[in-house]
Amino acid sequence: MKVCVIGTGYVGLVTGVCLAEIEHNVICVDKDESKINMLLNGKMPIYEPGLDKFVEKNVKKKNLIFSSDVESAIKSQDIIFICVGTPPTSAGKPDLNSLDEVSKLIGKSINSYKVIINKSTVPIGTAKRIKKIIKENLSEENKNNNFDIVSNPEFLKEGEAVEDAFFPERIVFGSDNEKVINLMKKLYEPIINQDFDYANNNPKKREKVPIIITDSTSSELIKYASNAFLATKISFVNEVANICERVGANILDVTYGMGLDSRIGTKYMKAGIGWGGSCFPKDVRALSFTAEEYGAHASILNAVIQVNNYQRFKIIQKAMDLLGIIEDKIIGVLGIAFKPNTDDTREAPSVTVINKLVELGAEVRAYDPVVTKIPPEMDQKVIISKDPYETLKNANLMVLVTDWVDFLDLDFVKIKQIMKNPYIIDGRNFLEKKKLLDLGFVYRGIGY
């Protein structure tokens, strides 16, 4: 099938690559020419493990083309995916400017019947908004050209996006048009049936993928409610971790004991510094905003956000407990990305924690295996080091913020020698506590 994917961020690029891999003819477009030029030169605009291999393979096979000519791509393809960003505004409401702009352009460019698939995470009711904008912008000669809209939310996790695209746990189609649903099933057929030849074939996941067919509003809500629920799980566990600290319990044992109950489950049960990234913070706020807008009370969602904000400041409290006055102390931070296997720093806990430590007068150094520049929202006084030992030299305190697996292999004997004080705050309960205590470190986890 002839597919156009608008937007080459995480969702767009991964979707385009996945559809090309299952033999569709895909054009990925972006108005940002610098991104398209990178892709044309074989470079990835995002850090996503495994993605480059699939891009290279499908460009070679001519299944995948990159272009900044959005209009021509819409005209030449039959199926148009909208994968543009919907960043939060200060009020919490998602900014739909890019989505509106793209919808206008689709309307102006329509020259034959098209199926428009929305994958951007959007407020409830947006499918109808896209339809209206497209209709308003159809040219006179194409007034009779029909189009249909489907909501098809994305559940990719950064760092595991390629795997998630090939092995989704469910696929949601929001449309009441049977013809379009059948076309969507055809489009995703190899993924639904799990019968394609995929290099990292994982036999455990070869069962048929469940499809949910619903109206567009419910489809949009499935996406928001899923992310909000996962964030709720983490905030809940963080609250329990804080209780553990007060009563002397161990959160790792508590969550393990809870998680073995299949009604609760073991995933998204890791206590720590709190959730961040481009989705959870934005989506929980957006759902809370919608709830208020429609007169429903979002008490749980608001508490989930509050617990998450507080969790980051727990790290500062722990630093104060260990160091007393923070001014002039040297603090080495391990991890800047909001989670491992990504270079994404949007709403990363590192930003809040480092900014506060700098504000309190600390000299903060930070190291991350892939983030090598100071993120724009971070205080520019922070020193980014090229290796973790440089970060920790003469430091009064180490704060682990991101659970990069690389940090498990650090030479802690050496670290103990080069640090001024043997203090570790492990914001992810990730390091081997017993080993560190045996080496003479003072270790503080989260509820552990």
Tokens in use for 148? 């249909």
Query: Which of 15, 385 has the CB closer to ligand UDX?
Result: 15
Taking the complex as a whole, the smallest distance from the CB of residue 160 to ligand UDX amounts, in Å, to: 7
User: Judged by CB under 6 A, does residue 275 bind ligand UDX?
Assistant: yes
**Nearer to ligand UDX among residue 236 and residue 289 (C-beta):** 236
Which range binds ligand UDX by CB under 6 A, 39-47, 172-180, 264-272, 376-384? 264-272
Residue 363 interacts with ligand UDX (CB under 6 A): yes or no: no
| Burial of 28 per CB tally in 10 Å (0-12, 13-18, 19+) | buried
CB of 143 to ligand UDX, least distance (A): 37
Catalytic residue flag (residue 279): yes
With CB under 6 A as the rule, give the number of residues binding ligand UDX: 19
**DSSP of 40-91, one letter per residue?**
HTT--SS--TTHHHHHHHHHHTTSEEEES-HHHHHHH-SEEEE----PBPTT
Q: Are 433 and 443 in contact (CB under 8 A)?
A: yes
Site for ligand UDX in 164-203 (CB under 6 A): none
Across 323-396, the runs of DSSP E, i.e. the strands, are 330-334, 363-367, 383-384
Nearer to ligand UDX, 284 or 360 (CB): 284
The single-letter DSSP state of residue 360 is: T
Tell me if 279 contacts ligand UDX by CB under 6 A. yes
**Burial grade of 240 (CB within 10 A; 0-12, 13-18, 19 or more):** middle
Residue of 115, 150, 156, 333 that binds ligand UDX (CB under 6 A): 156
Q: Applying CB under 6 A, does 13 fall inside the site for ligand UDX?
A: no
Q: Is 280 in the site for ligand UDX (CB under 6 A)?
A: yes
Stretch that binds ligand UDX, among 154-162, 286-294, 298-306, 415-423 (CB under 6 A): 154-162
CB of 88 to ligand UDX, least distance (A): 14
Distance of CA 125 to the CA centre of its chain: 23
Nearest distance, CB of residue 339 and ligand UDX, angstroms: 4
Q: Is 42 exposed, middle or buried (0-12, 13-18, 19+ CB in 10 A)?
A: exposed
Residue placing its CB nearer to ligand UDX in the complex, 74 or 333: 333
By CB under 6 A, residue 220 contacts ligand UDX:
no
Among 21, 158, 343, 426, binds ligand UDX (CB under 6 A): 158
8 A C-beta contact, residue 333 and residue 391: yes
For residue 116, what are its two tokens?
């428009």
33's tokens? 């020419």
Distance of alpha carbon 166 from alpha carbon 200, whole angstroms: 10
Site for ligand UDX, rule CB under 6 A: 154-158, 227, 230, 234, 268-270, 272, 275-277, 279-280, 338-339
For the annotated catalytic residues, the residue numbers are: 279
